[in-house]
Amino acid sequence: MTLAPPTNDRGITTLTLDSPANRNALSARLVGELTEALAGCADDDTVRAVVLTHTGNTFCAGADLGAPPEPAAFVALMRAIVALPKPVVAQVTGHVRAGGLGLLAACDISVAGPRSSFALTESRLGLAPAVISMPLLPRLDPRAAARYYLTGERFDAAEAARIGLVSVAAEEADKALVPILDGLRRASPQGLAASKELVTATVLDSFNQHAEDLIARSAALFASDDAREGMTAFLERREPSWAL
C-alpha cells in the first residue's frame, strides 16, 4: 500500500500518503488508492471533512518517473478533490515538488510547517506544469506564478502562504489545524457542501475548459527529446545538456 489505512476522529477522516521510500511520488498505484479512498469518503455520512497528510520528510515529490500515472488519471484525482462535497485540508510538514503542488492546490485549506519547501521544477526537466495549472493558476498570485513556473526556484512556507498556495504557514502545523477542524465540525454537511461549491467554482471551470488540451500537452512534453534528456540527467544526478 502507498496510502495508510484511513483514520476517523469525530468526523475528520485522515488520509496519509505513506510511501516514504520514493518520497510519496505520484505513482499509478498511489493515484489509484487515493482516488478510491476519496470516493469512499464522499459516500460515508460519518465523514465531515478529510485531512490529507504524509509520512516522511516529503509530502509529495511529483510524478514517479518509474511508474507514473496516466495524465488523465492524475487529472481525475485532482478534480475529485476539488469536486468532493466535503472539505479537504492538507497538512504539510515536508517538501512538495512539481505535481505535488497540484495535489496541494486542489485541497480547500492547507497548513504548512516550517520545514516545508516548495518548487515547480518542471521547466528544469524540459517539461511544464501543464495539468497542475488547473488548480494552481486560479489560486496563485499571477506574478508569483510566472516567477516560479519559469525559474523552478525553491520557496518556503511563508512565501507559499503569501502567494496563495497554502492557507496558513505555522510554526506548529498540528496546533494550527485545531481551530480549522473545530470550525468544520461545527458546520452542517449541507452548509459545507454549498459553501465549497461557491469557492471552487472557478477551479472546476478550469478543469472543464482546459483538461483535454492540457492532458494532450503534457503527453507531448513527456515524449519530447528535451524531457528525455531532462529526466535522464535528473536520474543520473548531472546537469542537463542545456544548462549554462
Span 74-117, pLDDT tens digits? 999 999 999 999 999 999 999 999 999 999 999 999 999 999 99
According to the model, what pLDDT value does residue 68 have?
87
pTM: 0.96
For 220, other C-beta atoms within 10 Å of its C-beta total: 11
Give the three-state DSSP class for 96: strand
Longest dimension (CA), the chain: 56
Cα within 13 Å of Cα(174), Cβ side: 1
Pairing status of strand 95-97 against strand 154-156: unpaired
Cα–Cα dist 44/160, whole Å: 32
Indicate whether 1 pLDDT > 80: no
What is the topology classification, in CATH, of domain 1-170+189-244? Answer: 2-enoyl-CoA Hydratase; Chain A, domain 1 (3.90.226)
pLDDT band at residue 66 under the 50/70/90 scheme: confident
Domain boundaries, the chain: 1-170+189-244
Q: Is the pLDDT of residue 202 over 90?
A: yes
* Helical pair 71-83 and 99-106, crossing angle rounded to 10 deg: 20
Mean pLDDT of 131-145: 98
Mean pLDDT computed over 5-33? 96
Residue type, 73: A
pLDDT > 70 in the chain, percent: 100
Dig out the grid coordinates for 51 from the structure: 485531512
| Neighbouring C-beta atoms of residue 99, cutoff 10 Å | 30
Mean pLDDT of the chain: 96
Alpha helices for the chain (secondary structure H): 28-43, 71-83, 99-106, 133-136, 142-151, 157-162, 173-186, 189-199, 201-222, 225-236
pLDDT score of 134: 98
pLDDT attached to residue 92: 98
Is 229's pLDDT higher than 80? yes
Q: What is the pLDDT of residue 217?
A: 96
